[in-house]
Structure 1
């Protein structure tokens, strides 16, 4: 597996960044690099993706979770916080389900793969609309990844995602969990559905929305996302990034009671 690693000392808390569908970890670097001063960041390309080796058989979500834990084993990492985008979120949910003693916290950015993204033609339409909402420079990063991944792999991986119980695994998480959504993301359901799902959890999920963001938040809004992750990791109230004034407003839409309550006005833009 090809991977990128920050020069942080080994004793720093480990943060593993997990990429989305058909992509490499390259587009996650803007956020990962902003967190590298505090965390030992690892950004791999999962098997069959990006610059990692091809695999003989098609992998599903549990296979990718197993690959992630083997990767941590190879690095000598016992526990880590996992930060995922899109398809990376189901992989993290499976990782937490299968290996609960190996994960400290979960950060799910634009989680995808549920009923709202099915069937394939609907997902392709959502991805097309999202492309028009992302920064133009993102296409220069992800297009080579999509070409390398190929159409047959896309169809197989989409089939694996549609059969994976994403919502069930999310509801089974027993660790502090942060979900970050963009209010311009066509791959995400509306606020009512988000509230419905969040309300079914065991009060351990914090849901934050970034105004003006679409799906690839790790690339398009790295300052705001890194700020939210940092606050979540320290159990502090969610506030806007002071270094990005006026760019995008960050606000909570759900907070479980297992999280310290935000002070009035702390989530304001």
Structure 2
């Protein structure tokens, strides 16, 4: 696959420096904004972006405290991060966009779709949950996820990747090394701030108010987010459909070629409004 061009910019939004990357499109599609997983810099989603239709414009960014973005003095909560993302889109000149959220970023995507329904045309949720009401993964996996060590020490990330990501990472050691090579850590504090953003947060009480067409994507071997959580999202969101992928937590990267067509079909669909034909009123006949 040929290397695609990304435009990198670091912008200042509400006192935060945000590193952004835009893959320009052809203007025929609504742009797609990516909310990435916890601790994950934007380069980690590039294999997924490369698998999407090259005419689709894609926006990625490092949230505060991750990658090339500045670390705030105090943590954001999800509503604050959603507001920051909306301001970033204003700065970059985008109006309505489609949104995909991955893992931790899936919670932020839910918050954005709920808080800014006029900005979010369609919603894609991948390997995520409704927050604190979720059915948790195995305790050993969650304990490893509670530490940023895998981002700070790449060798540690390679070692634990099969346990925490599951799926293809269990079978192919090269995947963990390739993933670790793209990691750009900005330290521990930003990771802990992201954990704080989700502390006590849940969307379960307002999921039924998300009106956007929603695609829910789940891995059937996901040690972090058990499949039942994705089924719950698809059940609670009124206009949602669920696709289960035969892989682990990072199926967007490991199965990009299979997942990208599903996403492109979903984004291309236009729901047809019902045509209500007026009842034909026959003129009264004279007796």
Q: What's the TM-score once normalised by structure 2's chain length? A: 0.71
Matched, 1:227 2:261: yes
Deviation at 1:161, TM superposition (A): 1.1
Deviation at 1:21, TM superposition (A): 0.5
Provide Cα deviations, 1:131-157, integer angstroms capped at 9, x if missing partner: 45435434544577474241x443442
Deviation at 1:126, TM superposition (A): 6.8
Q: Residue 22 of structure 1 contacts residue 149 of structure 1 at CA under 8 Å; is this kept in 2?
A: no
1:105 alignment counterpart:
122
Q: Alignment partner for residue 94 of structure 2, among 73, 77, 83?
A: 77
Unaligned runs of 5+ in 1: 237-257, 261-269
Provide Cα deviations, 1:216-245, integer angstroms capped at 9, x if missing partner: 122111111211101111239xxxxxxxxx
Aligned residues between the structures: 235
Q: Residue 182 of structure 1 contacts residue 214 of structure 1 at CA under 8 Å; is this kept in 2?
A: yes
Matched, 1:64 2:81: yes
Deviation at 1:33, TM superposition (A): 2.1
Classify 1:91/1:197 alpha carbon distance in 2 versus 1 (closer, same or farther; 3 Å).
closer
3-state SS of 1:17 partner: strand
Classify 1:163/1:120 alpha carbon distance in 2 versus 1 (closer, same or farther; 3 Å).
farther
1:217 alignment counterpart:
251
CA distance in 2, matches of 1:168, 1:146: 35
1:189 alignment counterpart:
226
Q: Residue 126 of structure 1 contacts residue 186 of structure 1 at CA under 8 Å; is this kept in 2?
A: no
Q: What's the TM-score once normalised by structure 1's chain length? A: 0.76
CA distance in 2, matches of 1:51, 1:118: 30
1:116 alignment counterpart:
135
CA distance in 1, matches of 2:194, 2:186: 14
Deviation at 1:31, TM superposition (A): 1.5
Classify 1:259/1:49 alpha carbon distance in 2 versus 1 (closer, same or farther; 3 Å).
farther
- Larger Rg belongs to: 2
Classify 1:156/1:25 alpha carbon distance in 2 versus 1 (closer, same or farther; 3 Å).
same
Provide Cα deviations, 1:158-189, integer angstroms capped at 9, x if missing partner: 23313111333433311000010011111223
CA distance in 2, matches of 1:38, 1:20: 25
Provide Cα deviations, 1:49-78, integer angstroms capped at 9, x if missing partner: 111122221122122211211111111101
CA distance in 2, matches of 1:139, 1:68: 31
1:148 alignment counterpart:
186
1:242 alignment counterpart:
none
CA distance in 1, matches of 2:250, 2:138: 21
Unaligned runs of 5+ in 2: 1-17, 147-159, 274-287
CA distance in 2, matches of 1:78, 1:20: 24
Classify 1:194/1:234 alpha carbon distance in 2 versus 1 (closer, same or farther; 3 Å).
same
Q: Residue 138 of structure 1 contacts residue 219 of structure 1 at CA under 8 Å; is this kept in 2?
A: no
